Structure 1
């Protein structure tokens, strides 16, 4: 291991990364886990709009259609010759099993053809280490992960060591946003529409804050979603016209307040030096603004990735895979897609 680390420190590493966990196909080349040489993303939003949400079988087929060309283009744009790549990284889980499988087969094929190591990578570790593409991380750190399928608080005592201290007990934040958006008549994906309407509203419908137990870092959003539906149904029965933006603001304020308060409390309790905002919902302007204001007031350092690294992308997978690469932790070629891959179990070994 020492010989490996000495060799690694003297030569740059170039990781080709593949991300196909849901409805974005992405391929990137990342140098030393920090410098993005290329990062291509093919979105399927227009395809899935007709269905009001992601259809797993359709997503898998769309990945198959574009993955080969994107691999070629990502390498070409990076300026790196294929033989100079150090390793091939791929999202192994969590995600849609069919979509994950497309990426894993493509990554294995590239790794075998080029004679390069394979690194199965955790999708949420990627979202967390997207922050490392633009910031210097300090430990211990706390990550607030908010996406379509995940709402979690993750404590990192040291680099690449993950401990889950809180998670959603039902709907994830992004999922709740899409369901509320649908009730308000917004097209898929609904989250950006709710965020926009909330920013435009001058008033907010009062909605409950779901805190759960006093010492809990878990989240619950299904009750809040039901409260929104109840408000809309009551207004309809009374024959009243309820402005959608007022409901959107009430919903967003209820979500954001709980996320911010629990994240700040976790930072204090665990002695974290930084709070990292991660995941697709990190692009939400209301959440970003509230966290920035609160962290400035509390004297806490808040890291938020640029918008292009918030949603699913392969550059973040390359950044996370570097944690494994620099320790010589590579995957076997019989690695399988794992929709339930544990973040804690994926943690790196010590140097």
Structure 2
């Protein structure tokens, strides 16, 4: 089912898995009719990271009004929907419960199908919303909690090629920003400072570069930055603005080079599965980093594979990706019962070995 009568499917998507409260209305012809996001950045900045209880309370505070705004912006009523989708995991369980229970209530009251969406799959399928990308393709999913390379064969069909063995890339950005007093979240301020820095000043390690396979590691790089920052403070007192810019640029270059190396290995593995065609898709919050995008664009050109990067606003958590994933599932008849239980861990490839940052506990 792709249409209802003469109109495309219409789904409300709700995202509450971390620190963004979001609601959106999307249709099966790839049109985003409403996309409302409320950031919780101010609530979490004082703690230097996301506090689960604070996040859950903020979702409770914001979600109803965001849904109302999304429905108004789209010019539809609940009766006009064909389904209600919500992120059902992985994520912070309190927030996931808020979004799921709200979606279930709307679905029950309106008599519409409920769609439990894997938050990671929503990121994975965003390129099909923005670029109408056919299966299969290669995906780099990089965020504060996840860093993976996967072959996307279809809805619900994934093969993991590599994942981080310690920290996720977004977490490394956050911790480097904290070391430098740049606030939370760390990705945007580190990237901004790096524009004025010299990426060659500090020879930081490129974790896993040159090793076989597609796994990532960022813990050693994070430690190297801490040792560098501590050394600079002891030698010269407080860091200057130029010091901070150079540390950011050096860190960003090291991380980007390491990711590009791992992605090159994944492209080679992908070509054994898909000899021609396909694409390299980058998704997740870290995919908004312009330096990383540029490095991967060069890699894609060198390896003769198309690169697809969703618009920056659709890289971070949003309701439109949840709604679209719901549409993908609804087309296949994959609806869910109202007793579906939230999943704090939910790997895209359940056959792959357990890994802490792949949506399943190590």
TM-score, normalised to structure 1, is 0.92
2:358 — aligned with what? none
Query: 2:216 matched to 1:219?
Result: yes
What is the 5 A alignment of 1:1-351?
Answer: 5=1, 11-32=7-28, 34-202=30-198, 203-211=200-208, 214-239=211-236, 243-271=243-271, 272=274, 273-344=278-349
| Alignment check: 8 A CA contact 2:209 2:262 kept | no
| Alignment check: 8 A CA contact 1:139 1:158 kept | yes
Distance 2:289 2:147 in 1: 14
How many Å apart are 1:345 and its aligned residue? Answer: 5.1
| Alignment check: 8 A CA contact 1:138 1:274 kept | no
- Residue by residue over 1:268-301, the C-alpha shift from the partner in whole angstroms, topping out at 9 and shown as x without a partner, is 3212510000001111111111112222233321
| Alignment check: 8 A CA contact 2:90 2:345 kept | yes
| Alignment check: 8 A CA contact 1:148 1:175 kept | yes
Structure 2 vs 1, CA of residues 245 and 8 (structure 1 numbering), >3 Å: closer, same or farther?
A: same
Identify unmatched segments of 5+ residues in structure 1: 347-351
| Alignment check: 8 A CA contact 1:36 1:133 kept | no
- Residue by residue over 1:170-209, the C-alpha shift from the partner in whole angstroms, topping out at 9 and shown as x without a partner, is 1111111010111112111121111112221134310111
Distance 1:157 1:133 in 2: 16
How many Å apart are 1:6 and its aligned residue? Answer: 7.9
SS of residue matched to 1:343: coil
Identify unmatched segments of 5+ residues in structure 2: 352-362
How many Å apart are 1:236 and its aligned residue? Answer: 3.0
SS of residue matched to 2:349: helix
Distance 1:43 1:201 in 2: 29
- Residue by residue over 1:129-176, the C-alpha shift from the partner in whole angstroms, topping out at 9 and shown as x without a partner, is 222222021332100001011100011134542112211111111111
Detail structure 1 runs of 4+ shifted over 4 Å in the superposition. Answer: 6-11
Distance 1:6 1:73 in 2: 26
How many Å apart are 1:235 and its aligned residue? Answer: 2.7
> After the TM superposition, which of the residue ranges 229-238 and 68-77 deviates more from structure 2?
229-238
| Alignment check: 8 A CA contact 1:18 1:314 kept | yes
| Alignment check: 8 A CA contact 1:212 1:218 kept | no
User: Cα RMSD over matched residues?
Assistant: 1.9
How many Å apart are 1:212 and its aligned residue? Answer: 7.0
Distance 1:49 1:12 in 2: 41
How many Å apart are 1:51 and its aligned residue? Answer: 1.7
SS of residue matched to 2:71: helix
Distance 2:2 2:215 in 1: 42
Distance 1:237 1:24 in 2: 38
Instruction: Give the paired residue count.
Output: 342
Structure 2 vs 1, CA of residues 7 and 235 (structure 1 numbering), >3 Å: closer, same or farther?
A: closer
Distance 1:12 1:71 in 2: 21
Structure 2 vs 1, CA of residues 54 and 159 (structure 1 numbering), >3 Å: closer, same or farther?
A: closer
TM-score, normalised to structure 2, is 0.89
| Alignment check: 8 A CA contact 2:24 2:323 kept | yes
Distance 2:135 2:341 in 1: 31
Distance 2:255 2:3 in 1: 48
Distance 1:6 1:178 in 2: 41
